Amino acid sequence: MSKSGTILYLDGVSVSFDGFRAINNLSLVLDKGEMRAIIGPNGAGKTTMMDIVTGKTRPDTGEVFFDGQTDLTRHDEAEIAMMGIGRKFQKPTVFENHSVEDNILLSLKGPRSIFPALFHKHSAEEKRRIDEIFSVIRLGDKRHDLAANLSHGQKQWLEIGMLLAQDPKLLLVDEPVAGMTDAETEETARLLKDIAKTHSVIVVEHDMHFVRELGVKVTCLHEGSVLSEGTLDFVSSDERVVEVYLGR
């Protein structure tokens, strides 16, 4: 497999915890600009795979490359975040006591303490970026509301906006629609599709209706390796996927 043109390249990756192989000879390649949905049963290794990409967990063996050339196994979590890999965990962790806009300002890329982040005069370029983020996350009319007053779904969108403020090249998004209403779920699919026009994205989800809305290539993990990969129709008609996951 060639690394050229890839944003993420995992080959032959394994990791064991106390003798248990959570990731087992995993190979997964994401092209630059691609959005991919990752599905699979509990314990399949989805979180561990993302932990390996973000430098939280070191693989025992295998290659992990970012942007075709950077060996991620040689970097720590902070360095990997600085390189442009952003991760959103399942539970939203916004600053509840700040306004929606301040949450975005506090997240803008660049070393900054709270005081200057909130009170410094923003350049035209920064203002353009902030407006762009608000248009993507559908919270323009909530800019001055307290983050605590947002719905669960809106908090997830705000946190995606905080991730965008870090200007990542690759976003890892863990179960974004868990707990959302159907309308919020559909809007989240549109929101991620907008983001995917200019970013590479990995979305882990169990909600198959949402995965269908995304309309992207799907990878099903099982026991730490790829069980099936292709269109959702292809993967969901794979008998092995039905047996270990969808049929349950």
Residues binding ligand ATP (CB under 6 A): 17, 20, 22, 40, 42-48
Distance from CA of residue 197 to its chain's centroid? 15
Q: How far is the CB of 152 from ligand ATP (least distance, A)?
A: 19
Buried b (16+ CB within 10 A) or exposed e, 13-25: bbbeeeeeebbbe
Which of 18, 141 has the CB closer to ligand ATP?
A: 18
Contact 169, 85 (CB under 8 A): yes
Minimum CB distance to ligand ATP, residue 43 (Å): 4
CB of 193 to ligand ATP, least distance (A): 23
Nearer to ligand ATP, 45 or 168 (CB): 45
Contacts of 193 (CB under 8 A, 6+ apart): 35, 214, 215
53 versus 160: smaller Cβ distance to ligand ATP: 53
> Cα 225 vs. chain centroid, distance in angstroms?
19
Between 70 and 73, CB nearer to ligand ATP: 73
Looking at residue 146, the DSSP 8-state letter turns out to be: B
Q: Amino acid letter at 244?
A: V
What is the nearest approach in angstroms of ligand ATP to the Cβ of residue 50?
8
What is the Cα–Cα distance from 114 to 123, expressed in whole angstroms?
A: 17
